Amino acid sequence: WALYANTLGQQNTASGVDALYANTTACQNTAIGVKALSTQSFSPGAAWASGNVAVGYEALFSNQPTSISNGVNNTAVGHSALKANTTGFENTAIGVTAMISNTTGSQNTAIGRQALFYNLQGSDNTACGYKALRNNDYGSYNSANGNYSLHSNIDGYQNVANGYGALYSNTTGDGNTAIGYQTLYSNVGGNINTAIGYDAGTAPGSPNISNTVSVGNNGYYNAASNQAFIGNLSTLWTGGNSTWFTYASDGRVKNNVKEDVKGLDFITRLRPVTYNLDITAMRTITGNAETTDFPEKYDVEKIKQSGFIAQEVELAAIETGYNFSGFTSPKHDNELYTMSYAQFVVPLVKAVQELNEDLKSEVSSLKSEASSMKTQIASLKSDNEILIHRLEKLELLIGAKGNED
């Protein structure tokens, strides 16, 4: 029953029971396998090129163009690949049940068993790997390379997942980039996140954060939006040249400029301490999954570091009424306090300025006192000279009287 209904169709190849069964006028199709391209029957009354290739049982089974521009140029290789496709065009599905549910989605590429399995209308997606983009429905412009990559995506757009399980849990998040084994694994609805490295990405308890960067194997999980982390819990040092880390500080982009920085009142409340980091405690709080032990993993714990306790800095800021931007306090239980030591430069400068003003005031007072003392000394000197002069006169008078006697 291959090519059973063919009338004007030319350059078609059909091999298998009911392959290209209903085709009438479409040309340049290849159907190999039982019921491959079985229902395609659109007929404009003349021969026309649809250019579909179906290899495998029921591959492109439901394909049904409604014009000469849809339902064409599809390639399906594998059992039930692109089985439900009706008007979708220029799709490539290679693998058992790859794109089995697709109906109108177009220009997709699915390579691997169950790749883009549930896709209905999503277009311009690339899925390479077992169950890559498996649950995608309407999401478009996604690229998934690796088994289970973007597995749960439903209608997320413009995501890139490269690695086993990368962006596995993403359903509605857009514009995310995940490179590495299980990177951004827990992200569900977060947008424009970037994670590079083995298991780098968002914390399990924060599935909807956005605009984060995480770089490093087992990279420190971002637990809040608008954060960037480089390295992991064992990282000892990050750096570059003298301008490696800078901020935009142009006066033209600053509003509400005020001179309300706290100086000595804030700085003198701080308690400088030395300490050692506890990686296990950090992992317990953040839920950050660690790799198996490696020789240098706990070297960071051996370093005696100098700094402040963030909670104490927060208290000092509260007590002085200072809206200090040098620390962030947790919004969720799996977040840590963080500090930017560079931010302490500003209140330190203010403290130095206050000390300088105090010093200048004290110097001025001392100068005034010195001037007063000079005046007093000059007056005393003048008085002393008068007394000496009078004493000399008395001595002369006494001497003269003695001579008379």
pLDDT at 290: 59
Q: Are 167 and 178 in contact (CB under 8 A)?
A: yes
Q: Work out whether strand 75-77 and strand 338-339 pair parallel, antiparallel, or are unpaired.
A: unpaired
Q: Are 279 and 302 in contact (CB under 8 A)?
A: no
Enumerate residue ranges in the chain where pLDDT < 50.
Answer: none
Element (H, E) at 382: helix 345-404
Query: How far, in Å, CA of 57 to CA of 102, rounded?
Result: 16
Distance of CA 168 to the CA centre of its chain: 17
What are the sequence ranges of the domains in the chain?
260-347
Instruction: Measure Cα distances from 73 to 15, 30, 319, 323 in Å.
Output: 19, 11, 71, 62
pLDDT tens track for 306-365: 999 999 999 999 999 999 999 999 888 878 898 999 999 999 999 999 999 999 989 889
Instruction: Measure Cα distances from 357 to 36, 266, 307, 400 in Å.
Output: 89, 17, 28, 64
pLDDT tens track for 171-224: 999 999 999 999 999 999 999 999 999 888 866 666 788 998 988 777 656 667
Residue type at 369?
A: E
Provide the strand spans (E) within 216-318: 228-230, 273-275, 305-307
